[in-house]
Copies of this chain bind each other. A is one copy, B any other.
Amino acid sequence: DYPQKNAEIISGQYGVNLLLVGVSLMFSLSHRGSSVKEEHLLSFLITLMVLQLMWMLWYVIRKDSQNSPVLEKDVQAGTSWLRGGLTLLALISLIMDAFRIGHFVGYKACLSAAVGVYPVIHAVHTISQVHFLWFHIKDVIKTSETFERFGVIHAVFTNLLLWCNGVMSEAEHFLNEHKRRLSSLGYVNGTLDKDDDPQCNCTTNACSTFSNTLYYLFPFNIEYHIFVSVMLFVMWKNIGRTIDYQRNHKGVIRTTDLVIGPILGLIAFASTIAVLVIYIMHIEDSVETRELAIAMFYWYGIVMLIFMCAAGSIGLLIFRSDNLPLDYSKNPSRKLDTDLLFGSSIGSWLISWCSIIAVISAESFPKYRWTNFTYSLLVILEKYIQNLFIIESLYRKQSVSEKDQTETRAEVLSVTGSSNLSLAPPYNGIINRAFEDQDKVCASLENDQEGNRQVYSYPRRLPEVSISAPKRRSAKLNKRRKALKNIAVFLFLCNISLWILPAFGCRPQYDNGLEEETFGVTTWTTILNFAMPMSLFYRMHSVASLFEVLRKV
């Protein structure tokens, strides 16, 4: 049997190569003269999905036959609200599959069979996968690891490929829309590519309804696949791991605390919908109205982002004012969340820096030139602050006084009691059972020595916190928590708003023309096609993370 590290590398390399085959197929598909056709890509995707289905079936049957009730679970992976959200996205994906089948039935005379088989398999795949995620995502696999590792990584990369496929279809649709608009405005003369549309007549009445509605459902399908692949990746990282049981603090969200945050957030949300509608309506009008619509978007964005920066900064100041130590215990899903947040910001940072350079060097003077500049700077700043806020929230230990409110004081002070042996917060274990339970000490000490130092210094501060002036301090903390909760809710709603805009077609980066002047149409379209999906994923991912923050503070 392979050592852990090697098994990881073997399966990881397999997964990456799977993705690269798919990506290469997509590249060749995007070239008109190529003999690679859509059905080849679809057949490849169908094969991958069928393989995943078989593996999931094998896994579930084997787990059931084993009947071992003491299976290890990673409580931090796939929280129930995340699974709930995924189920919703999966439902929309299923509706989309139904529409696709309808579309195929209408045009079946001139479409390849793969186009019809794909949505059927995709629907079966979606249903089975949601079932799998509900009941097995927390599993920590320990036996016959190498084969299961391959299965999980196969699932991760299959979903990632389905995501790429969705992103590509959407980008193509969007580019065609954009060209259609430009030609209706008289900018482009020439024929439009109509290769996407089937070459025969529809035999049912609903064909155009199907294909038009499809593009409103696409963004949800895309988010579904990327989230599934992130969750499965955490499962893969958990294979062979030994979990140290920690209490999972279930934050109760008391709605009475939440006033300002939700109100401001809902105002932002409502104005977003208004901006979206106005933008979509006016972008196809005359040049004058078009410029106004773009300028409006930037002004709206500036106001939103200033508020978001302010909220994030206040949150960071609150964190700085009570300098609690961070929690460095091992937690793959949190580490992945952090890395993804950081990594996916790169997409929109790149867009923003390109915009800034374009504004500075541009030779034309549209109305929105310097608002675009300010907007781009604020996008960079806002992501910078928001990342810091979310990451600090996720890594913070809970303060002792916060626990006082839900537990009796006696329990906190009786750290040697046997009643909280398995559920005690980490610092208990370190102080009292250092020599009795070595594994546990090591697990919570972890590899980070900085973390250690802080954990050890904790007990010295303990009396000060929980005895000297508990009442006043508790009130102060309560105020802080309220503020943090409101900030989290506000940012949550703002991020949903900023996801909706580009997801449903409000992309002034395509329409404003400044960047195309500096970078050329080809380069700029390539940059956008690469960075836009990352930027969309960033917003959705920060929505999920902010919900986690909201439950935690």
Show the binding face of A for B, using Cβ within 8 Å.
Answer: 3-6, 9-10, 12-13, 16-17, 20-21, 23-25, 27-28, 30-36, 240-242, 323, 325-326, 328, 330, 338, 342, 345-346, 349-350, 353-354, 356-358, 361-363, 380, 384, 387-388, 391-392, 395, 434-435, 438-439, 441-443, 445-452, 454, 517-520, 522-523, 526-527
Query: Inside 8 A of A447's CB, which chain B residues have their CB?
Result: 330, 442-443, 446-447
Query: With contacts A13-B342, A240-B450 known, is A31 near B523, CB below 8 A?
Result: yes
Chosen A-B contacts, 24 in total, with CB atoms closer than 8 Å, are A3-B325, A3-B450, A9-B387, A13-B388, A16-B345, A20-B346, A27-B519, A27-B523, A27-B527, A28-B358, A28-B518, A31-B519, A34-B361, A36-B357, A36-B518, A240-B449, A241-B450, A242-B452, A434-B438, A435-B435, A435-B438, A438-B438, A439-B449, A443-B447
Give A149 Cβ to nearest chain B Cβ, in Å: 12
Give A465 Cβ to nearest chain B Cβ, in Å: 18
Query: With contacts A33-B520, A451-B4 known, is A441 near B443, CB below 8 A?
Result: no
Supply 12 further A-B pairs (C-beta < 8 A) apart from A9-B388, A35-B518.
A5-B391, A20-B346, A23-B353, A24-B357, A27-B519, A28-B357, A31-B523, A36-B357, A242-B449, A330-B447, A439-B445, A443-B447
Alpha-carbon distance between A210 and B338 when the two chains are bound, in angstroms: 48
Q: Is the pair B16, A346 in contact by a Cβ cutoff of 8 Å?
A: yes
Query: With contacts A9-B387, A361-B34 known, is A354 near B27, CB below 8 A?
Result: yes
Alpha-carbon distance between A353 and B9 when the two chains are bound, in angstroms: 19
Q: Is the pair A34, B391 in contact by a Cβ cutoff of 8 Å?
A: no
What is the predominant secondary structure among interface residues of chain A facing chain B?
Answer: helix
Alpha-carbon distance between A434 and B346 when the two chains are bound, in angstroms: 44
Q: Find A380's partner among B9, B17, B354, B454 (CB 8 Å cutoff).
A: B17
Most chain-B Cβ atoms within 10 A of its Cβ — which of A6, A21, A25, A380? A6
Query: Inside 8 A of A6's CB, which chain B residues have their CB?
Result: 326, 388, 391-392
Query: With contacts A24-B357, A357-B24 known, is A17 near B349, CB below 8 A?
Result: yes
Q: Find A24's partner among B240, B354, B392, B395 (CB 8 Å cutoff).
A: B354
Alpha-carbon distance between A5 and B338 when the two chains are bound, in angstroms: 10
Determine how many copies of this chain the complex contains: 2
**10 closest A-B pairs by CB:** A242-B449, A31-B520, A4-B450, A442-B442, A24-B353, A35-B361, A24-B354, A330-B447, A3-B326, A442-B445
Q: Find A36's partner among B32, B241, B323, B361 (CB 8 Å cutoff).
A: B361
Question: Please, which residue of chain B has its CB at the minimum distance from the CB of A330?
Answer: B447
Give A391 Cβ to nearest chain B Cβ, in Å: 6
Question: Please, which residue of chain B has its CB at the minimum distance from the CB of A10?
Answer: B388
Query: Inside 8 A of A323's CB, which chain B residues have their CB?
Result: 3
Query: Inside 8 A of A27's CB, which chain B residues have their CB?
Result: 354, 519, 523, 527
Query: With contacts A17-B349, A23-B350, A28-B358 known, is A5 near B326, CB below 8 A?
Result: yes
Q: Is the pair A326, B28 in contact by a Cβ cutoff of 8 Å?
A: no
Give A169 Cβ to nearest chain B Cβ, in Å: 17
Query: Inside 8 A of A242's CB, which chain B residues have their CB?
Result: 449-450, 452
Alpha-carbon distance between A242 and B453 when the two chains are bound, in angstroms: 10
Question: Please, which residue of chain B has its CB at the minimum distance from the CB of A243?
Answer: B449
Query: Inside 8 A of A31's CB, which chain B residues have their CB?
Result: 518-520, 523
Alpha-carbon distance between A310 and B336 when the two chains are bound, in angstroms: 36
Most chain-B Cβ atoms within 10 A of its Cβ — which of A3, A35, A241, A448? A3
Alpha-carbon distance between A13 and B349 when the two chains are bound, in angstroms: 10
Question: Please, which residue of chain B has its CB at the minimum distance from the CB of A521?
Answer: B31
Give A352 Cβ to nearest chain B Cβ, in Å: 8
Query: With contacts A349-B16, A438-B434 known, is A354 near B28, CB below 8 A?
Result: yes
Alpha-carbon distance between A338 and B12 when the two chains are bound, in angstroms: 12
Alpha-carbon distance between A350 and B17 when the two chains are bound, in angstroms: 8
Query: Inside 8 A of A380's CB, which chain B residues have their CB?
Result: 17
Query: Inside 8 A of A28's CB, which chain B residues have their CB?
Result: 354, 357-358, 361, 518-519
Query: With contacts A12-B342, A342-B12, A361-B34 known, is A20 near B353, CB below 8 A?
Result: yes
Alpha-carbon distance between A452 and B345 when the two chains are bound, in angstroms: 36
Query: Inside 8 A of A454's CB, which chain B residues have their CB?
Result: 3
Alpha-carbon distance between A438 and B436 when the two chains are bound, in angstroms: 12
Query: Inside 8 A of A520's CB, which chain B residues have their CB?
Result: 31-34
Alpha-carbon distance between A517 and B328 when the two chains are bound, in angstroms: 52
Alpha-carbon distance between A454 and B242 when the two chains are bound, in angstroms: 13
Query: Inside 8 A of A5's CB, which chain B residues have their CB?
Result: 326, 328, 391-392, 395
Query: Inside 8 A of A357's CB, which chain B residues have their CB?
Result: 21, 24-25, 28, 36
Give A330 Cβ to nearest chain B Cβ, in Å: 5
Question: Please, which residue of chain B has its CB at the minimum distance from the CB of A326?
Answer: B3
Most chain-B Cβ atoms within 10 A of its Cβ — which of A4, A9, A24? A24
Alpha-carbon distance between A342 and B6 when the two chains are bound, in angstroms: 12
Alpha-carbon distance between A345 and B24 when the two chains are bound, in angstroms: 15
Q: Is the pair B24, A350 in contact by a Cβ cutoff of 8 Å?
A: yes
